[in-house]
Each structure stands twice: as C-alpha cells, then as structure tokens.
Structure 1
Amino acid sequence: MSAEKCFAKGSAAPGPVPNGHIRLYSMRFCPFAQRARLVLSAKGIKHDVVNINLKDKPEWFLEMNPLGLVPTMETLAGELIYESPIICDYLDEFYPEKKLLPSSPFGKAQQKMTLEHFSKIVPLFYKISMGKKSGDDVSVQEAELKNRLSKLNEDLVNKKTKFFGGDSITMIDYMMWPWFERLEIFQLKHCLDSTPDLKKWAELMLEDVAVKATMHSVDTHKAFGKTYAEGKPNFDYGL
C-alpha cells in the first residue's frame, strides 16, 4: 500500500505498518527521500509509502519526528529512523539479500568518502539554479561545480568501471543519482559535456529498473518546480 496523495495538517494518521512491510514517510519530489525509495526498490523490500505535505505537515508526523524531516522510516516494531544515508545503510544491513554496500570495511569507507565529497556538491546545484533564476552571475559557482564533477569523472576513469563501486550499481550510485536526474531542471546538464565518463554513467543509470521506478519526467519536475517557486508547492502534482 502506498498513499500517493500527501498527508497535511489536520489529516488522520495512517494505520499501523502492514505486517511484513516497512514504511517510508516521503515526498514525491524530494531527492533525499528518493534515495530511500531507490534502495527499497532495488532490494525488492516490501514497503508502503506515506507522502507528507512539507509546507503544512500533519500534527501526528511532527509528534513522530519533531524535525519534520523526510525521509523518515518506521519499522514494524515502531522504530523510527531518519537521514537518507542512515536509512539506506540500515536497509542494506537489515535486508541482506542483494547487498548494495561492499563487504570489505575499506570498500565501505571508499563509498562513504565519495559520498562525503558529493555532499559538498549538492548545495552548488541549488545555489547555481537559484542564482540563474535571479539573474545573478554564477560563473564562479559553476566553475567550482565543473571542477568537482571532473573529480568524480576522474574517479571513474581511474577505476575503469561503469559505476562508482564496480561494473554494477551499488549504494553510492543511488546516493548520488537523484541530483543527476534533476540536472536539466537545474539548467546544468551542459556541465557533463567535459566529463564523458560521468555522462556515460548517468546514461547507464537511466537504464536501471529502480531508477525507472522512482523517477519523474523532466516536464513533471519542471511543473512541480514552478508551483514551488510560486510559493504554493503542489506535492500531488500529476496524480
């Protein structure tokens, strides 16, 4: 069961987590929540999704997680977990079938180091996109973004692999993907022109079953973004 339409202030809380499932509190257009949905899909974990209106959050959700963050995950035992990397690591450990993280401690450390590097890139996507919309000069930030993306490209070149953890998709690929899905929305797709291996990686990611199951079209992203920019985000857009 997935409650596609979002729950807002005044709404009744959903029932208990279905037996044999795990519940994800999400928002359909949130890239951080998409990380968790990618992992749930890739690992074939039975789950339901409850979408939250992030502008008008339900009282029961704020009691559950006073920070009001998505993704938040609730287990059958009522345990609550939030922050997307923590949720995804938990899912990989608790559901050991089709492991996404490397088995070696060094392999895990490598992925966490790559994720730490990528976490410095994420704010640039938003700064540049917002700056362009405001008519600001974002050339310095765009140069920094290209430099950081080139380092990711070098990582793939040095490893001589299709993906960041080898020749099949692993956790780190899913952790980074949501922002690459949105490159055209950020008006930054051209930043991959000088990073051919990274560009090829993005093309290969589009062929993945979990990516296909969780992504939105460019037009849908743009339409939601327009409602967000107008101050009236339509979290149910397209339903």
Structure 2
Amino acid sequence: MATEKCFAKGSPAPGPVPKGQLHLYSMRFCPFAQRTRLALNSKGIKYDTININLKEKPEWFLEKNPLGLVPALETSAGEVIYESSITCEYLDEAYPEKKLLPSSPFGKAQQRMLLEHFSKVIPYFYKIPSARRTGEDVSTQEVELKEKFAKLNEPPPPCRHVLWFPAS
C-alpha cells in the first residue's frame, strides 16, 4: 500500500510496522528506492511505502536513519536497514524463498559489478534535464551517457591480480 502523503519536517511518525510487513521509506522519483521496490515486488513481500521529503526530512526519520537517505526498510521488530544495495541484499537473505542473486560467489560478483556499472549512469538522469532547463549544451553529457550505456552490454573485464603491498 502506498502512501500519497509526503512526510516532512514536523510530520508525525507513521505507526508501527504491522507484523509480516515492512515499511519502505522512499521518495517517489528516487531510482535507488526504486531498486528496493523492485526487489520487494519481485519477492512478493508486503510493504507500505512512506514517502520522505528529502529537502525537509522529518526528525523521526533522521533518528531511524542518520544518513537521511532513501531507501530504508523498517521491520516489525524495529530494525532499520538503509542503502539500496544493502536493502536488496538483506531482502534476498531474509526472504530466501525466491532468490534474486545467483548462489555462486562468481555469479553474485557479476551481478554486483553490473550494478556498479549501472550506478554510473543514474546521475545523468538528473544532470542532463537540469542542464537543458538552464539552456546549457548537453551534447558532451549525452555522448558520455551513451558510452556508459554501451558498457552495460559489454562483459566485465577479467580480474587482474593486484599487489596490495609494494614488492621488496
């Protein structure tokens, strides 16, 4: 169930999380929160969406999540998990019936590498429209975005051995 209200500074905290459900603290247009929402929906987990005004965060939200970022999940036991990759990993482990990540360590690593590549694309979804509104030339940013999208279709490079300490 989604809440249409956006909680801001001075807003009362929502009620407790019902047993068998989660609260998803979100913002309507946040791609990082969308990542967690996709995981929740894919796994069929019941949750309520609580939208947070990120410019005027409610005090109670900062008590739950000192970083003040979305997404964040809250369990009926009062446990709070935040950061999109961490919330998705938590959901995959806490609700193992329908796994999202492969079971092999290499398969998991590949999924995480793909996620890292995709996270480099997201800032352009804000930069380009913002620059267009102010009349700036966005041709360079559009070329960069296309290059980053093209990299998403490439296999990850092979791992090279790295020396962490200088050889003596």
TM-score interval, smaller chain: 0.7 to 0.9
1:61 matched to 2:70? The reply is: no
Q: In percent, how many aligned pairs have the same letter?
A: 72
Deviations 1:21-47 (A, max 9, x none): 111111222221111111111110122
CA distance in 2, matches of 1:5, 1:11: 10
Aligned-pair CA distance for 1:105: 0.6
Which consecutive residues of structure 2, in runs of 5 or more, have no partner in the other structure? Answer: 156-168
Aligned residue pairs: how many?
Answer: 155
Q: Which residue in the other structure is 1:89 paired with? A: 89
Aligned-pair CA distance for 1:73: 0.9
CA distance in 1, matches of 2:126, 2:11: 31
Higher helix share: 1
RMSD: 1.6
Deviations 1:39-77 (A, max 9, x none): 111110122221212222212112222221111111122
Aligned-pair CA distance for 1:88: 0.7
CA distance in 2, matches of 1:66, 1:90: 19
**TM-score when normalising by structure 1:** 0.60
5 Å-filtered alignment, 1:163-174, equals none
CA distance in 1, matches of 2:65, 2:86: 15
Q: Which residue in the other structure is 1:219 paired with? A: none
Deviations 1:129-164 (A, max 9, x none): 222222222222211211121222345xxxxxxxxx
Letter of the 1:86 counterpart: I
Aligned-pair CA distance for 1:126: 2.1
1:139 matched to 2:102? The reply is: no
Letter of the 1:41 counterpart: N
Letter of the 1:71 counterpart: P
Higher strand share: 2
5 Å-filtered alignment, 1:71-82, equals 71-82=71-82
Letter of the 2:135 counterpart: G
Q: Which residue in the other structure is 2:105 paired with? A: 105
Other structure's SS at 1:116 match: helix
**TM-score when normalising by structure 2:** 0.84
Q: Which residue in the other structure is 2:152 paired with? A: 152
Other structure's SS at 2:48 match: strand
Q: Which residue in the other structure is 2:5 paired with? A: 5
Q: Which residue in the other structure is 2:160 paired with? A: none
CA distance in 2, matches of 1:123, 1:53: 19
Q: Which residue in the other structure is 1:123 paired with? A: 123
Other structure's SS at 2:35 match: helix
Other structure's SS at 2:39 match: helix
